[in-house]
Amino acid sequence: MPGITIDGNNYEAAEGTTLMEVARREGLPISSVCYSDHLQSYGSCRLCVVQVEGQRALSAACTTVVREGMVVETGTPEVRRIRRTLLELYLSENAGQYRPGGSAHAELNDLATEYEASPLRFQGERHTVRQATVDNTGPYFSFDSSLCILCARCVRACDEVQGQNVLHLEGRGFSTRVVADPGTFDASACVTCGACVKECPTGALSDKRVLEQSQRPLPAHETPDRTVRTTCAYCGVGCQFEAQVSGNRIIRMYPVDDSPVNMGHACVKGRYAFDYVRHPDRLTRPLIRQSEKPGDFREGSWDEVVALIASRFTKLLESNGPDAVACISSSRGTNEENYLMQKFTRICLGNNHIDNCARVCHSSTVAGMQEVFGTGAATNSLADIESTRLILAVGCNPTEAHPVVGARIKRAVRRGTKLIVIDPRKIELTRYADVHLQLRPGTNVAVLNGLANVIISEGLADERFIAERTENYDAYRETVAAYTPESVEEISGVPADLLRRAARLYATSGASMAYHGLGVTEHLTGSYGVMALADLAILTGNVGRPGTGINPLRGQNNVQGSCDVGALPNVLTAYQKPSDPDVRARFEAEWRWPVPQQPGWKIPEMWEAALAGKLKAMWIMGYDAAQTEPNTDLVRGALANLDFLVVSDLFLSETALLAHVVLPASGALEKDGTFTNGERRVQRVRRVVDPPGEALSDAEAICEVAAAMGKPMLHRDPSEIMDEIARLTPSLAGISYERLEDGGLQWPVPVTHEVSNHPGTAILHTDRFPRGLARFAPVEYVPPGEEPDERYPLVLITGRVLQHYNAGTMTRRTRLGEVVDRDLLEVHPDDAQLYGLKDHCQARVESRRGSVCLTVRVSERVAPGTAFTSFHFPEAQVNTLLSSSADVITRCPEYKVLAVRATPLRLRYDWRGIK
């Protein structure tokens, strides 16, 4: 390792590193404008010049590679003189715009102050040639070319960080300028991730919110006065942000550089979509229904509603038995809230009728991975994207649903990582893929078994791994023998040769890692699909090593955590079974109340029980079941049949409208707690602002009601709840708020006699599986619950778009509600012609259950015979189309396959359907 001297101090540096990298690592200040820790060295601004002993000319630190014995001076008078002159040239570029201490991003201004540089020393031709333009067309940031010095950090960030390539340097000489191709941001493919804004050193690219604040005098309370580090409240990637706050107002969410999850990057939702926090629709006081009519509420006090809930629950339990009341918890809530909700259900209601909305997304993942590995969580870390040789993306659309992961995958592909995409649509990642297997919806199991068939028949299986670490291989081999590439082509439409190519790539890369999403789990055979995927990993030895494994992309922010802390009807924390006497004894000793043994109802079973009149009351926390559940008419019927419904939420959702009591809840930016992201990383959520009005956290509401029912839970602080979870849960035993101060911890975090500060576990199953050996789970292809026919000839797939999140409750109440203001029906041009559908026109979409109206988008992203729509807008009520078909094991609904017909709309309609 070369040894070098910088400003009289000795340092070691790895071969190939630059002087700038050493300086940054050691915290030595070397000025620069075009250099960024997130980007490749560019060497254009020359501000980072330093004096290297023995060289006459100055060297740019960002492009000079260290050599043994190098002696460097970074701040000689000559170096400072050159830097000052360079700075004055840059400042002259935007003469008249120079604002000492200007916007929060103006690194250039800070340098000007440091070097006492004059903005007016050089006057030149540029003023007569370059036209200053302002592009204000994006929803969250604007671009003022008069402040631009052409350092190209924004262009490179768009390219290297987000992989979007929207920004370009256009023109030559003095007329060179940065443009969003094809001219403005709104017309471009910009995804508003904000990476360019973060990089801009001059304020040319600025967040509109920050700009507004710096250009007009503001009351003192609106000046950012503190930062609070917290975790994104949207998807399961779990990006970390520093919230910049003034008083009780969020000014900006700034993605932090030292997070191993997002490494300074973010997507539009996490970075910009927080306006919902102060939206006038927020619930601020408890509501009590005052007549038979749903939605007819009066305001009440917390004392009144707590007493009402406690007395109604108690009476219903007394007169109808312990099955009378059930709870649905939320994957949007914190671990602590979910833990309390399941504890409340088990000790206050005396049953296990607790489930959470992970039921409708990744319950199949838990069941499928449990079956093969013995545990149902991601085997590897997001950091492994950097080291893997091949990524297999199955039924997931990361660039829209998990954008920071999507960007990381695109970056990996640019570095040479292979990519296989298995998806019925031409999602963005297919443009980067070596192979795209465009299968018919609902045929995952056949395709995955087909891959295994090729791997075995071509001798590519990892025989040693199979012999040493697995069991039941013979049965598996026998099952997949029937799935020849030709037979799979018949079932799935995937060409046999393409299947062979994908199988060879996956098996021979040396390190293949799989990501999967709801396109695998939300099927009649969702659990089977996950098993087939896990089987493929153990068939090829792609588990237990860096850059391998099975990694579910979790939909909501805390899908992983809500299940880990026991908000499920059959397990307690970390999937410990209440039927196990030792487990029960431990929980009963801690809780001081009996723990029921009989497994409770899953969400679909709750609807059935409500319709049958067996279930009398529910408490639904942060889940808009009436909009997001499949076959919503049935769900609404079930909710309407309850004697008493309590809903906690931020807004008066479709479900809340049916409630008898609505509790105003605080959002993720308004409370303390933890979330667990998709790679098992438990991270702190911190209160950034106060909740509006009388809104309370769900944890506070649960404790109030439990106390009123005579079973108080004495937690003064969320950290105490985490301590209780740790006491009861071996895999979380080493987690405490104190330890989380230094960053997240990936479970398992055990505590042993020898180790009390376990660092967490980045990769699972390195030596053994929880069940000892992994067990091949042979699964057969079963056709989807519903197939197209003459009356309903199209297969409709539902999913997300980048700008919105689930039921859109939060994102619709931000500027993103204007960017994407409706659910669209994507149809292939052939089908558009066949059914007389035109771009931008309305279509009536009918299934065997219902009918909705959607705006048509003709697109080749979908294959002929299939269609796609999102489900973010209550006006569209897309889920009324869905059937009750669900995964055979977990009852995760089959959101991904339904037979529909689409006809151009000639009749009068409103958004709720045809009249």
Q: Binding residues for ligand SF4, per CB under 6 A?
A: 232, 234-235, 237-239, 262, 266-267, 269-270, 402-404
Q: What is the DSSP letter of 429?
A: G
- Tell me if residue 240 falls in helix, strand or coil: strand
Distance CA 41, CA 16 (A): 13
* CB of 77 vs ligand SF4, minimal distance in Å: 45
> Which one, 271 or 440, has the nearer CB to ligand SF4?
271
* CB of 401 vs ligand SF4, minimal distance in Å: 8
> Which one, 194 or 286, has the nearer CB to ligand SF4?
194
* CB of 220 vs ligand SF4, minimal distance in Å: 30
> Which one, 28 or 382, has the nearer CB to ligand SF4?
382
> Which one, 262 or 479, has the nearer CB to ligand SF4?
262
Which residue number places its CB atom closest to ligand SF4? Answer: 270
Q: Hey, how many other C-beta atoms are within 10 angstroms of the C-beta on 670?
A: 21
> Which one, 166 or 634, has the nearer CB to ligand SF4?
166
* CB of 675 vs ligand SF4, minimal distance in Å: 9
- Tell me if residue 243 falls in helix, strand or coil: strand
Ranges assigned E (strand) in 423-511: 435-437, 470-471
Q: CB within 8 A of 797, min separation 6: which ones?
A: 424, 425, 441, 519, 862, 866, 867, 868, 869, 896, 897
* CB of 720 vs ligand SF4, minimal distance in Å: 27
Which of 876, 868, 867, 872 has the alpha carbon at shortest distance from 909?
Answer: 876
> Which one, 98 or 675, has the nearer CB to ligand SF4?
675
β-pairing, 549-552 with 512-516? parallel
* CB of 557 vs ligand SF4, minimal distance in Å: 7
Distance CA 21, CA 302 (A): 56
β-pairing, 3-6 with 71-73? parallel
Q: CB within 8 A of 646, min separation 6: which ones?
A: 309, 617, 618, 619, 620, 659, 660, 661, 662, 663
Distance CA 415, CA 243 (A): 32
> Which one, 189 or 585, has the nearer CB to ligand SF4?
189
* CB of 403 vs ligand SF4, minimal distance in Å: 5
> Which one, 64 or 192, has the nearer CB to ligand SF4?
192
Backbone angles phi, psi at 286, to 5 degrees: -60, 145
Distance CA 345, CA 373 (A): 30
Residues 246 and 224: beta-carbon distance below 8 Å: yes
* CB of 680 vs ligand SF4, minimal distance in Å: 15
* CB of 805 vs ligand SF4, minimal distance in Å: 7
> Which one, 403 or 549, has the nearer CB to ligand SF4?
403
> Which one, 237 or 347, has the nearer CB to ligand SF4?
237
Which of 53, 570, 152 has the alpha carbon at shortest distance from 351?
Answer: 570
* CB of 151 vs ligand SF4, minimal distance in Å: 26
* CB of 271 vs ligand SF4, minimal distance in Å: 6
Q: What is the DSSP letter of 641?
A: T
Ranges assigned E (strand) in 475-605: 512-516, 549-552
Q: CB within 8 A of 193, min separation 6: which ones?
A: 161, 162, 164, 265, 266, 267, 268, 271, 403, 407
> Which one, 239 or 774, has the nearer CB to ligand SF4?
239
